Amino acid sequence: MSNDTAILVVEDDANLRALLDEELQQQGYHTTLTAGVNEALEQLQQQPYALVVSDLKLPDHNGMQLLQSVRENPHLQSVGFIVITGFGSIEQAVAALKAGADDFLTKPLDLEHFAVSVERVLANYQLRRQLHDYEHLLGHDTESWQGMIGRSAPMQTLRRKIEQVAKSNGTVLITGESGTGKERVAEAIHACSHRYAQPFIAINCAGIPADLLESELFGHVKGAFSGAQSQRLGLVASANGGTLFLDEIAEMPLAMQAKLLRFLESGEIRPVGADVDQQVNVRVVAATHRRLEQAIQAGEFRKDLMYRLDALQIHVPPLRDRGEDILQLAAYFIALSAKHIGVTPPRLASSAVNTIQQHAWPGNVRELANAMEYAVTFCQGKELTAEDLPHRVRHVSSSAEPTLTTLAEVEDRHIRRVLKAVDGNRSRAAEILGIGRKTLYRKIGLAPEQDQPPGA
């Protein structure tokens, strides 16, 4: 949970209000303190909150009225709500939960239980927000820029770089993991450039046999080799005036790399079997998922070609770094797959949202698209659950990391040992520990009214 999550505390008891404030701030949350319902409603109108913690008994109204006001406001329905009371009953708890409370806690508060409740309710708040965003996306055309979906910070940076690079005629090298959409970036560069009305030609250097690659790129004349029964215009000449995209450039054979370097330096090509060169005006955009420096060290790539290609470089972020984009992309691919199959896009269950958000997506956008197609295909009802997702997505590795003890756990065990050693005398325990009695109460989850009689 983000350390700037805003929590509104509504409590008229100044001591408990201060205790809750201290506890929440120690957990890294931003708090606002109020003493009544009217003041709380004013705060909710002024800024967004993720959680409201409210006493049931308040001087102006009661916590149930505040809860009702929150749940009736369409802008506040996803906000978490915890009710606390000193006079709790089963009937009150049931009524609060039916009215939309996320939890019901009784005084004196167990601070450890309170902290767990806050964490759980905030997690549910995030889930509700994500589901709301997903439902909104299904009902509207997904916003995209040059065919790319996402508004995360890494994607905004990528967009700015594409727009800047598009102004130039220099060679571009696009780097990034497999499945991140490097060809889509190349298309965006072309579309934003002054060459947009001219051809965009793409070729995968790993998908063409080495002995045919030169002819594919530069063309050939009739009779240049066995089977060349007619002249053939190569892809470079076909892209004249436009952009040539060379995907998986690191897989190009070394001999062909030398000829590509010559073309990049001179702007001239010589078709296989021809006697003269011909001038072409083509912008080259290359892409690779490999580190070219490592390919150079392995003797598989020319250093001078890397320098030539690396004039302008753009890195495409992996999907795992685009957190807020993942659900938006999932909604897009679900709607697209449902359209292809001819079914209504299924609603995304909370279990599926959790699984999608927690998966590392090593295959990036390509893997996400395939996973959503699989899920829509095998979904049996109107709701897509985690069980509908491919096994590799929902599977959690069994190789768990070793459990490490937190500082808070060590501290708690030490306090309990000291209390046991002094037969539960909290005044003596606080003195030994070098802390105040109020701090000791908080650390062991007791409120001041639980203190011992004088002399204990």
CATH of the domain at 356: 1.10.8.60
Cα–Cα separations (whole angstroms), residue 199 to 173, 246, 266, 287: 19, 14, 21, 18
Residues 307 and 327 in one domain: no
Of the candidates 377, 363, 289, the one whose C-alpha atom is nearest the C-alpha of residue 333 is: 377
Among the three residues 96, 115, 138, which one is the final residue of a domain in this structure? Answer: 138
Q: Are residues 178 and 216 in the same domain?
A: yes
Residues 248 and 329 in one domain: no
Establish if 1 belongs to a structural domain: no
Q: What is the CATH number of the domain that holds 412?
A: 1.10.10
Task: Tell whether 60 and 123 lie within a shared domain.
Answer: yes
Query: Does residue 340 lie in a domain region?
Result: yes
The predicted pLDDT at position 440 comes to 76
**Average pLDDT of the residues in 166-184:** 94
Q: Residue 145 pairs with which residues in a beta bridge?
A: 148
Q: Are residues 310 and 255 in the same domain?
A: yes
Residues 264, 257: Cα–Cα separation, whole Å = 10
Q: What's the pLDDT at 410?
A: 67
Question: What pLDDT score does 233 carry?
Answer: 83
**Residue 307 and residue 165 in one domain:** yes
Per-residue CA distances from 166 to 48, 247, 377 (Å): 39, 18, 39
pLDDT at 402: 39
| DSSP code for 310 | T
Report the CATH number that the domain containing residue 289 is assigned in CATH: 3.40.50.300
Residue 361, domain member (yes or no): yes
Amino acid 449: pLDDT: 43
For residues 170 and 303, membership in a common domain is answered with: yes
pLDDT at 221: 78
Examine residue 389 and state whether it is found in any structural domain, yes or no.
Answer: yes
What is the model's pLDDT at position 95?
86
* Torsion sign (Cα): 322, 326, 332, 336: positive
Range of the domain at 282: 153-315
What is the length of the chain?
456
- Assess whether 374 and 423 both reside in one domain: no
Q: What is the CATH number of the domain that holds 132?
A: 3.40.50.2300
Residue 451 has pLDDT above 60, yes or no: no
Averaged pLDDT for residues 401-415: 60
Task: Return the pLDDT at 85.
Answer: 87
List strand residue ranges (DSSP E) for 361-426, in order.
383-384
Pairing type for strands 278-279 and 268-269 reads: antiparallel
What Å distances lie between residue 154 and 320, 325, 331, 427, CA to CA?
Answer: 11, 10, 20, 54
Tell whether 268 and 389 lie within a shared domain. no
Q: Is residue 130 domain-resident?
A: yes
341 and 446 share one domain: no
How high is the pLDDT of residue 24?
92
Q: Is residue 416 part of a domain?
A: yes
The mean pLDDT of 277-285, rounded to a whole number, is: 93
Question: At 247, is the secondary structure helix, strand, or coil?
Answer: strand
**Into how many domains does the chain fold?**
4
pLDDT top residue among 36 and 395: 36
Task: Tell me: do 177 and 307 sit in the same domain.
Answer: yes
Mean pLDDT of 100-120: 88
Pick the last residue of a domain from 138, 171, 199: 138
In terms of C-beta density within 10 A (0-12 exposed, 13-18 middle, 19 or more buried), how is residue 246 classed?
Answer: buried
What's the first-to-final CA gap in the chain, in angstroms?
40
Let me know whether 88 and 171 are in one domain: no
Burial of 141 (0-12, 13-18, 19+ CB in 10 A): exposed
Per-residue pLDDT averaged across 77-87, rounded?
A: 86
Confidence of residue 314 (pLDDT cuts 50, 70, 90): very high
pLDDT digits (tens, 9 = 90+) for 390-401: 999 987 533 334
Residue 400 lies in a domain: no
As a whole number of angstroms, the distance between CA 39 and CA 121 comes to 23
Taking residues 194-211, report their average pLDDT: 91
d(CA 92, CA 431): 40
Determine, yes or no, domain membership for 144: no
Angle between helices 426-433 and 407-421 (to 10 degrees): 130
SS3 content of the chain, % helix, strand, coil (to 5): 50, 15, 35
In this predicted model, what pLDDT tens digit does every residue of 46-63 receive, in sequence order?
888 999 999 988 887 888
Tell me the per-residue pLDDT of 139-169, one tens digit each, with 9 for 90 and over.
555 567 888 888 888 999 999 999 999 999 9
- pLDDT greater at residue 350 or residue 38: 38
